[in-house]
Structure 1
Amino acid sequence: MPKLAVVSGGGTGIGRAIAEELAAEHEVVLLGRRAEVLRRTAEELSGEHRLVRAVVADLCEPDEVRRAADEITAGDRTVDVLVNNAGGNFAPQPAEDLSTLREQYLRNLGGNVLPVVLLTQALLPALRRPGGRIVTVTSIAAFRGNASYGAAKAALHPWSTELAARLAGAGITVNVVAPGYVGGTEFYRDRMTPEFHRQRSAQAPVGRGGTVADVAGLVGYLAGATAGFVTGQIIQINGGALMGRG
């Protein structure tokens, strides 16, 4: 039976690239809310030697997370890799009104923290022991940038390091990947203009923005057998746009 990897938010962008990276050696389950997007991506990534399937669920809802976890682990399947990629900036515009500000923080905390914490907790009993891998994708915004989105992503850093300490004895590694600017994804939506891309790319001393393949390659390493001594780390990937923090 092939190894099993689960990628939340795997339908587009960074999540899709991670799924494609892992599909070379794993059966991959894509998780998310958009059924048609997931189905199409699963079909496109599947091939003669690759099996990718979709499970639709709102990962902010406990009942849906339980259902998805049961479907993924049916037949006592063991999960080798869990990549928590689901999330986004659900309140990109700053607010001054207190009620609106409260709503922005709740939306971003709920939309970024709950999918990670609930899904990880639901799949934890099925994680391979030893050898399981948990990788959570956050953002450079956890160190700087949009307050409510950055706060939500930053909350996942101590959660991950605490989980890493708890699971180390079982041989499960837990790490965070925090990308900087990565163009060509849905994250920036209508902000993605040539000038925006130029300005963001110029922030990195390497002279370019990141790509989804850059991030997927790092996640692929952390998910692999040679990364067993790497745990409890927050690894930035931003071309040097923000150095020396992790």
Structure 2
Amino acid sequence: MGRTIVITGGSAGIGRRVAQRFAESGADVVITGRTPDRVERTAGELGVRGIACDAGIPAEVARLAEQAGPCVDVLVNMAGGNTDLTRGSETASLEELSARWQANLTANLMSAVLTTSALRGRLQPGGAVINVGSIGAEYAASSYGAAKAALAAWSAGISAQLAPAGITVNTVAPGYIEDTEFFRGQLTEERRATLIDSTHNKRAGNPDDVAGLIEFLASPHARHITGQTLHVNGGAHTTR
């Protein structure tokens, strides 16, 4: 049996492609998601294990840890998404503003914190934790961007804690990626064109662009890369 890979939010979009690539390499892959039917269907299609789990709910994460098995080699914290896209555009009160921010913090930060904490004792030397952030963290006026910025900061900090055990921790921050459900049908053609025009290579990203980097970070070739945020955005945001 190959390595055990746990991918939260692995039933669709980028997470599904990550799961597929690891499964094709012979790994024992566990995917999670909030919707049991979708998790079961995707797991069957990919030939992986599926566990329904809302990664923002402590009791469900604890159950996931027990079901995942005693040893985990790679954890990919993919679960998240911009919860504002499901709540409409109006904020009527401070209570609603608080609820909006808490929803994105739970979905994008606490989901990774809870899952990593639950599986920490099962992570094996030579393993990797890979957190999926966003280009939105660079423009963090929104609750989604702020949550992803916090995720990257936490990721860099926990890297130092896990490194003595031989475990790397990195954040992968995608830009605009097509063929996902991220925008929930709310992306206009004008906005799409603007996002593509902001890149250097004038194309949208695709799930394989992100999945390939995640696969590399989980490989023996990336053992001296830790505590980093690696951007996958075609140059829409550059670092030096």
TM exceeding 0.5: yes
Residue of structure 1 aligned with 2:65, choices 66, 69, 74: 69
CA deviation map 1:206-231 (0-9, x unaligned) = 11010011000000100111111110
What is the aligned partner in structure 1 of residue 5 from structure 2? 5
Q: Where do 5+ consecutive residues of structure 1 fail to align?
A: 47-51
Contact kept? 1:183, 1:197, Cα under 8 Å: no
Structure 1 residue 207 corresponds to structure 2 residue 208? no
Structure 1 residue 83 corresponds to structure 2 residue 79? no
Query: Which whole-Å CA distance do the structure 1 matches of 2:90 and 2:198 have between them?
Result: 22
Query: Which whole-Å CA distance do the structure 1 matches of 2:210 and 2:55 have between them?
Result: 22
Query: Which residue type is aligned with residue 90 of structure 1?
Result: T
The alignment partner of 2:83 has SS state of coil
Q: Please, what TM-score do these two structures have when normalized by structure 1?
A: 0.91
Query: Which whole-Å CA distance do the structure 1 matches of 2:32 and 2:97 have between them?
Result: 29
Identity %: 44
Query: Which whole-Å CA distance do the structure 2 matches of 1:126 and 1:99 have between them?
Result: 39
Structure 1 residue 155 corresponds to structure 2 residue 174? no
Query: Which whole-Å CA distance do the structure 1 matches of 2:52 and 2:36 have between them?
Result: 6
Structure 1 residue 124 corresponds to structure 2 residue 125? no
Larger mean CA deviation between 53-62 and 169-178 belongs to 53-62
Contact kept? 2:159, 2:227, Cα under 8 Å: yes
What is the aligned partner in structure 2 of residue 110 from structure 1? 106
Query: Which whole-Å CA distance do the structure 1 matches of 2:42 and 2:137 have between them?
Result: 29
Moved over 4 A (4+): none
CA deviation map 1:154-209 (0-9, x unaligned) = 11112111111111111100000000001121111122344433222111111101
Shift of 1:65: 0.8
| Map 1:1-246 → 2, pairs under 5 A | 1-25=1-25, 26-46=27-47, 52-73=48-69, 76=70, 78-92=71-85, 93=89, 95=91, 97-129=93-125, 131-144=126-139, 147-244=142-239
The alignment partner of 1:117 has SS state of helix
Query: Which whole-Å CA distance do the structure 1 matches of 2:154 and 2:140 have between them?
Result: 20
Query: Which whole-Å CA distance do the structure 1 matches of 2:75 and 2:2 have between them?
Result: 15
Shift of 1:96: 6.5
Number of matched residues?
Answer: 236
Contact kept? 2:177, 2:206, Cα under 8 Å: yes
The alignment partner of 1:187 has SS state of coil
Query: Which whole-Å CA distance do the structure 2 matches of 1:146 and 1:72 have between them?
Result: 36
